[in-house]
Structure 1
Amino acid sequence: MTAYSGIWPVAPTPFHDDGSVDHDGMTRVLDCMIDQGVDGICVLANFSEQFLISDEERERLTRLSVEHIAGRVPVIVTISHFATQIAVERARFAKSLGADVVMMMPPYHGALLKGTAEQTFAQFQAVGEVGIPIMIQDAPLSGVDLPVPLLVRMAREIEMVKLFKIECPQTAAKLRALIAEGGDAIEGPFDGEEAITLLADLEAGATGSMTSALIPDQIKPVLTHFAAGDLAQAEAAYARVLPAINHENRQCGFRAAKAAMVEGGVITSDFCRHPIPPLHPDTRAALLRLIRPLDPVVLRWGR
């Protein structure tokens, strides 16, 4: 296992029913995740509803998360922004608090404002000068193409670019090409998308996975068995959790983890800010029906 390996889920951001941030709930979310045996935690990512959180709330949540985790596991703070200056300021703030890594997508704003390859390189280079390891998030949400040669160039020429969260279509193929072309410069190849392609991605060379906080304790054995060279056990562990992962990925999105945390007494509300609709009761019921037989920590943590 490398320094950047294992399961590093995204922490959801809990709200009260009135839409205000539940800061006490946030500490419980982080404690629950650590008790699930995670190897690291990412905050303020897309699955944290970062696009629904104000700058003031982001600052307070960053401070709360890093200080409450207090070195128990590494912390990744998401800092994505279209403006390079703001991304740099966010990186400096995360570093000042003691965060271990920052994660960022390439610069984009909506469907039409997208950074070119050179603008993307320049933004990551500027953040790299802050002196904190960077995870590049290659996600369809940005709409920005990040070809393997560009990723390899950033890995080789920007010292702090060390990790890569690849969650584009045909993730395994891109991971395989990235590792083949980048070699030792690719220190932490990860997949995402709730681990829906995890086994193929591990076989392609991924060392870690950034899932949601739904059932990381049940997904982790896939990575552990694979790292130990036991493919049969890894396949069996993956087959066990795949129906739940599929339901989360295709039907629920980031609402799944909060629904499970309410059910398990971790937080008191699964509220999502408008315009995100609540989970349909039938979709929520199906989610709980699929994860209950797995006996995940999340369903008994607060009971």
Structure 2
Amino acid sequence: MSNSGQYRGVFPVVPTIFHEDGKLDLEGQKRCVDFMIDAGSNGLCILANFSEQFALSDEERDDVMRVVLEHVAGRVPVIVTTTHFSSDVCARRSAAAQAAGAAMVMIMPPYHGATIRVTEKGIYEFYGKVSDAIGIPIMIQDAPVAGTPLSASFLARMAREIENVAYFKIETAQAASKLRELIELGGDSVVGPWDGEEAITLYPDLEAGATGSMTGGGYPDGIRKIVDAYMSGDKESAASLYQQWLPLINYENRQCGLAACKILMKEGGVIGSDAVRHPFAPVHPKTREGLLEVARRLDPLVLRWSR
């Protein structure tokens, strides 16, 4: 993949917004996206794990994709997660995403449950089939949830040999070391070495050469400050800002998970309900209050966007 039109910066995951009864809230979804763009997101990612993609029907996925891409209307690039175990289904989902206006697709390696895994050869062929079906970049999501070890050398090989494989979201333990190795082995074929996992390892990952970060959706303005300072060469400010925002990042990553950004958005009046889909349980009221207490000290845009 050539370096033309390289995507960089902060591309947070957009939560899927529900009414209290668990049905899609597509008007709330649009407000959520408007807030995230106003908060400085360089781009967005939809239908990811933090979007509860695994709790949506195929029809609902299509609705969310259509509504978000139409509403964003090219204001920022949108990455669509098209993960599926089947190579053919994933290829079809990815082609549909491109046709709808996606800038990129993000895909985990094929896995099912705790034990159904695919060989390296099968994973290579899987990404090859998807690549053949589209003309936009693929981001490989290297996340523990897939339970599939992907060595830096294997990722670099896919970057070199599979046409559209160009971006990598590294969320495994010791992410910075893996990013360094991936960049060294992949060279120019690795267009976008990215950080993930709610930015919990953001500063070391930037030091390792990450050019993008896919975070939670609640406070892109805070993450932008860190990334912008680092990219402009002001590492001292970036380190100081990272320390400042780390308690909130940590609260999201370790205490609230994917509910965190919805709680912040509801508190700030961006959305009407912070419901997560059953069988997820709502966050404990004390944990919720703890998140908001940490957030209020930082005064993120989310808490005053609709005031």
Shorter-normalised TM range: over 0.9
Distance across 1 between alignment mates of 2:264 and 2:77: 24
Superposed, 1:24-173 pairs within 5 Å as 24-129=27-132, 130-173=134-177
1:92-143 deviation line (CA, Å, top 9, x unaligned): 1001111100000000111111121111111111111122210000000000
Give the letter for the 2:280 counterpart.
I
Give the letter for the 2:79 counterpart.
I
Q: Residue in 1 aligned with 2:296?
A: 292
SS in 2 for 1:108: coil
Q: Residue in 2 aligned with 1:252?
A: 256
Distance across 2 between alignment mates of 1:118 and 1:69: 37
SS in 2 for 1:226: helix
Distance across 2 between alignment mates of 1:92 and 1:229: 38
Deviation of 1:3 (Å): 2.3
Q: Which runs of 4+ in 1 moved over 4 A?
A: none
> Would you say the 8 A contact 1:135–1:162 is kept in 2?
yes
Q: Residue in 1 aligned with 2:11?
A: 8
Distance across 1 between alignment mates of 2:217 and 2:233: 26
Q: Residue in 2 aligned with 1:227?
A: 231
1:166-214 deviation line (CA, Å, top 9, x unaligned): 0000000000000011111110111111100000000000001000011
Distance across 2 between alignment mates of 1:117 and 1:128: 16
Distance across 2 between alignment mates of 1:56 and 1:297: 32
**What fraction of aligned residue pairs are identical, expressed as a percent?**
54
Q: Residue in 1 aligned with 2:222?
A: 218
SS in 1 for 2:13: coil
Q: Residue in 2 aligned with 1:265?
A: 269
Distance across 2 between alignment mates of 1:157 and 1:3: 19
Q: Residue in 2 aligned with 1:176?
A: 180
Give the letter for the 2:66 counterpart.
R
> Would you say the 8 A contact 1:91–1:132 is kept in 2?
no
SS in 2 for 1:225: helix
**RMSD between aligned alpha carbons?**
1.1
Distance across 1 between alignment mates of 2:223 and 2:137: 25
1:213-239 deviation line (CA, Å, top 9, x unaligned): 111101111111111111101011101
Compute the TM-score of the two structures, normalised by the length of structure 2.
0.97
SS in 1 for 2:183: helix
Give the letter for the 1:53 counterpart.
L
User: Where does structure 1 lack aligned partners over 5 or more consecutive residues?
Assistant: none
Distance across 2 between alignment mates of 1:136 and 1:175: 13
User: Where does structure 2 lack aligned partners over 5 or more consecutive residues?
Assistant: none
1:13-42 deviation line (CA, Å, top 9, x unaligned): 010011100010100111000000110100
SS in 2 for 1:260: helix
Q: Residue in 1 aligned with 2:23?
A: 20
SS in 2 for 1:202: helix
Distance across 1 between alignment mates of 2:62 and 2:304: 31
